[in-house]
Chain A
Amino acid sequence: MRGRKLYSLILLNGGIGSRVAAGQPKQFVSVNGLPIIVYSLVAADAVDEIDEIILNYPEGWRDDVEKLVVDYAVRKPVTYAPAGATRHESVRSLLPLARNEHVLLHETARPLVTAADFRRLIASPHDNVSFMLPIPFTVAPVDPATGKVTGHLERDRLRNVQLPQKYRLSDLADAHAYAEANGLIFTEDGTLATVAGKDVYFLDGADRNFKVTTATDVRLAGFLLGGDDEGE
């Protein structure tokens, strides 16, 4: 334990399209028989360096989320907070609740995250780090208004941004203050912090750790979590 940094995990609930969720909040969508939210909670619960979890809940569902935490034997202290109108806003409103100088950011829509993923992120010597994936296809910049392709992007210099990520709390708070002052809204925090002048690094992520957004994704994640996909 000597000199070890402790982390607060901020767990977001965005992602899954509302049609997939079929009337219930997205974090209760069943993947391989369990509510999707459970996978991230249990993975984080196994990481010694995480000493608190900050969880946002959809309006009106706090009791249900609290019950899941008990039912699934999550032992870390959990702080509950209402979800913001946007992801950007949720992150900003959750930051002041973190009691550690270092935070991890994850979203429940990525149920294939592992305790080892969190540990790899924590082990990085940098303060601000995101898992990112190389892009196996070509992306083109376009002008949707005119329908014209406007140039070329080198895919070696592009990455698919994943979660989890980690930040020094003050850096991420500065970045959100910068966005507020400049009227900017971001869909993720790695690029936000970079634009706000912070150094952000990346680690190669795993393609398994994809974001569940469609009904097909739910089935694919269920298949991968079924455990028999390792090959013999």
Chain B
Amino acid sequence: MSERRSVLITGASKGIGAATAERFMAADNGVTDLILLARESAEFTATQERLHAGNPHGKAIRPYYVDLADRARTVGVLKDVMAEVGRVDILVNNAGYTSPRAFQQVEFADFERTMAVNLYAPFTLVQELLHNGNTFELIVNIASTAGMAGRPGWLTYSASKAALITMSEVMKEELAIYGTRVVCISPGRCATDLRKTLAPDEDPTTIMQPEDVAGVIEMLTTDVGRFVDSRNLVVRL
């Protein structure tokens, strides 16, 4: 019997995902394998280098390069993950995409891309891993306060996050048969590239930092995290 315990984090190249990977790297929490998903980029490489440089518990870092809007490729990568790592105990569906536009200017293809990355990818990750015989200890879906109330100019993003919140509620009920916990987190504004896209004029030093959200995600995997049972956990400054 292997003593391995793995976490899979999507969107681990930067922002909240990278900060979460760093948290898991530093924590003495029995997690042995970090499975990191993003597209290939200089930022992703730099993040991996940072993780390797500070690895006090000798954890394995396993990067996988994939565009999560490409469902067929995503399914293939998940097969590789199962063949190479064998299990995903903790899944953090963090990758997110937005290109804010007023309703009148929304390109349908961009709406589809937003839904593909923010909603269908989390669905595909959970379903494909289940169909490969993997059951989870914990699934964390990163939605947004933008999914709790619509905001002008953010139609596609708000709609995708609202759907992710309700999808998480259903998952929480249905995956309870395996003892899987499902938690949806809705961060408020947080200093990352995505936020810069949404609010270009804001001073990032005045708002919540990626490490703060990462701290909440890691808390969910601790003993006390077991007691967090929320339909949608709002994290904001």
Contact = CB atoms under 8 A, between A and B. Distances in A.
Contacts of B43: none
A34 B176 contact: no
B80 interface: no
Contact of A70 (B131, B134, B173): B131
A151 interface: no
A39 B176 CA distance: 11
B173 A73 contact: no
Contacts of A64: none
Nearest to A73: B130
Interface in A13-50: 32-34, 38-39, 42, 46
Interface string A58-74: 00000000000011110
Q: What is the predominant secondary structure among interface residues of chain A facing chain B?
A: loop
B180 to A, nearest CB: 10
Interface residues of B, number: 13
B131 to A, nearest CB: 6
B176 A73 contact: no
A114 to B, nearest CB: 11
A5 interface: no
A32 B133 contact: no
Contacts of B173: 32-33, 226-227
A159 interface: no
Chain A, interface size category, equals: 10 to 19
A94 to B, nearest CB: 24
B136 to A, nearest CB: 10
Contacts of A219: none
A46 B170 CA distance: 22
Given A32-B173, A33-B173, A227-B173, A42 B178 contact: yes
B174 A39 contact: no
Contacts of A73: 130-135, 178
Interface string B166-206: 00001001101111000000000000000000000000000
A42 B135 CA distance: 11
Interface in B122-153: 130-135
21 contacts: A32-B173, A33-B170, A33-B174, A34-B174, A38-B177, A39-B177, A42-B178, A46-B179, A70-B131, A71-B130, A71-B131, A72-B130, A73-B131, A73-B132, A73-B133, A73-B134, A73-B135, A73-B178, A75-B133, A226-B173, A227-B176
Given A42-B178, A73-B131, A226-B173, 5 more contacts: A42-B177, A72-B130, A73-B133, A73-B134, A227-B173
Interface of A: 32-34, 38-39, 42, 46, 70-73, 75, 226-227
